[in-house]
Amino acid sequence: MFGRNRKKSIAIVRRYIDALNRHDAGAMIHMHHPEFSFIDARGDAIEGKARCAKAVHALMDMDEDFGLEIKDATVRGGQVLLRGRTRASDPRLEHDMLWAVRVENGLLKDWQSFGDRDANPMAHLLLHRTLQPAG
């Protein structure tokens, strides 16, 4: 039973990453838990499905080549742990990263990034972009 749940959690997270790499914001947002939160490598957070939805759209607009390359995935302590790299046309957005993702009832409850000190403050960047006036 536990092995099946572990595989299911990893599969859900991989579907989310596939949607991110396709820049399918709708599919990503559909997989967010109502209390979803994103925590960047500097510890800044975006909380709530509505705010995270805006951040997803801002991410899609920020860099058309942004994506994740996953090298390893496992489940420990109820979280999907990932090791990989961000890729982007802007080299400032490319970093080796670790991620911890909590899945609850088939939806992503939280996504936390861990990276080096040079990692960009993604939560801050995305929130700033969502507050920009259209035009």
- Distance (Å, whole) CA 85 – CA 33: 24
66 belongs to a structural domain: yes
> With 80 as the cut, is the pLDDT of residue 4 above it?
no
Count of helix runs (H) and strand runs (E) in the chain: 4, 6
**Is there a domain that residue 22 lies in?**
yes
- Domain membership of residue 44 (yes or no) is yes
* pLDDT tens digits for range 67-100: 999 999 999 988 999 999 999 998 888 889 999 9
Is 38 a member of any domain? yes
Per the CB < 8 A criterion, the answer to whether 103 and 31 are in contact is no
**Domain of residue 96, CATH code:** 3.10.450.50
Report pLDDT digits (tens) over 5-41: 889 999 999 999 999 999 999 999 999 999 999 998 8
What is the number of structural domains in the chain?
1
Full-model pTM: 0.86
Q: Is the predicted pLDDT of residue 121 greater than 80, yes or no?
A: no
